[in-house]
Chains A and B, each alone.
Chain A
Amino acid sequence: MKRLSWAVAGIALLCAVPVLAHHSFSAEFDATKPITLKGKLTKMDWVNPHGWLYIDVAEDGKVVNWAIEAGSPNALLRRGLRQTDFPIGSELVIDGYRAKNGSPTANGTTVKFADGRNFFLGAASEGTTPQK
């Protein structure tokens, strides 16, 4: 089984578009704190080494602007995504993991648009999709 998982890791790297996550996520984000955020996109930073999505989330009667780390612009681009795929004001549902420092920051794994589009955000791996 162990051998199988190595082979799968290798296969994934050789076949999938490389993702440019350049750091260990556990240093910054908490794997035990998954979070689902629903809100309106206020900004998309198409920047290196990771893109960032900002969404306004209603929490306990107030609105909090969350920052969500995504994949690198080159990885998103090679996956067929463009900055114009993230229009400001879009209603989004984002799954990810909370930052350890308690700030409204998360590492994104998937983003769903109201029209049903569903993207892998590609931040949570140095290579490809994390394996469960």
Chain B
Amino acid sequence: MKTIAAVLIFTASAGHAAAQAPAAATAAGCPLEPVKFHACALPKAKSFNPPRTPDGRPDMQGYWERAFTSQDIEEHGAGFGIQAGPSLVIDTPDRKIPYQPWALDIKKDMVDRYISPLASCFPPGMPRHVIAPASHQIIQAPGYVVHLLEYSHSYRVIPTAAGAHVPSPVRLWQGDSRGRWEGNTLVVDVANSNGLTWFDNAGNFFSDDVHVVERFTMVDADTIHYEARIEDPKVYTRPWTMVSALVRNKEPGYELLEQACHEGNRAVEGMQSVGLKPYPGVTNIRGGGR
């Protein structure tokens, strides 16, 4: 195992790269595989007293990395530019997203028909913002949690004094995030999505009626248990939950850099040239859009 990890690190950093941190197969002593991580991390979190911000909240500030890519949030093998990965879905019998039959039909050839919204440099939306391909930074101020993502300068400002969502006709790429603290857990309720983003690059989708409830819980000083409960009666047969570890990036001097995504984005041009179209949202594909 150590040998394989060492080979990967060497390959990824070939050339005159800086030395990388030693391999870690676990986070907070828990396996990364989502069902196992979920079962292991939450009990540990109960006995962990997190560092505090001056206003007494768990201090989650700093840089964070996801445990797995967002190529496909369902279980998948290695492919062209894709690493094998487990399903992030933890609470359906087959660990798959519980699509309604018509939705599963659309999903089957989604990536052959439509350009992944992230490839077009659009904001990733929730919950992909948390597992998108880039580093995160969490900054806290009294009454707010600011969640920055290097990719395409995406961000969200989460008021933690809760409050009502913006009116329903307002539809947003990142949705409207409203937070609250439940003990040591940051709970974020996300609504008002425009339904134009995906969970991953595999075309897993939701509609503009999606409602996401996220839970961020520190398991130790360097690990967050991230959970998102997804509810969308338009698309799924039942609500479901995805889980991922977030691991602190402790590289000295690390910072988020400019990532002006549109600058030279030839990917869209390449995909259009083979017939792919911009993703119009599932309600428009099916008919009867908002």
Contact = CB atoms under 8 A, between A and B. Distances in A.
Interface of A: 2-29, 31, 45, 47-52, 67, 69, 72, 74, 77-81, 97, 99-101, 103, 105, 107, 110, 117-120, 122-132
B12 A49 contact: no
Contacts of A3: 33
Secondary structure of the B contact surface, majority rule: loop
- 10 closest pairs, A vs B, by CB? A47-B264, A23-B119, A31-B80, A25-B81, A16-B12, A10-B32, A127-B69, A28-B270, A24-B201, A9-B83
B83 A15 contact: no
Interface string B154-189: 000000000000000000000000000000000000
Contacts, number: 232
Contact of A9 (B12, B16, B69): B69
Contact of A28 (B1, B21, B247, B274): B274
B24 A23 contact: no
18 contacts: A3-B33, A7-B33, A9-B83, A9-B85, A11-B5, A11-B25, A14-B27, A18-B134, A19-B133, A22-B119, A22-B261, A24-B111, A80-B13, A110-B14, A120-B11, A125-B82, A131-B78, A131-B83
Interface string B124-138: 000000000111000
B18 interface: yes
B253 to A, nearest CB: 11
B14 A119 contact: yes
A45 B263 CA distance: 10
Contacts of A127: 68-69, 71, 83, 133
A11 B24 contact: yes
Contacts of A31: 79-80
Contact of A18 (B1, B32, B135, B276): B135
B15 A118 contact: yes
Contact of A14 (B24, B33, B151): B24
B12 A105 contact: no
Given A28-B271, A28-B274, A20 B134 contact: yes
A9 B68 CA distance: 7
B85 A126 contact: no
B80 A97 contact: yes
B9 A16 contact: yes
Interface in B246-289: 247, 257, 259-267, 270-271, 273-274, 276
Contacts of B14: 110, 118-120
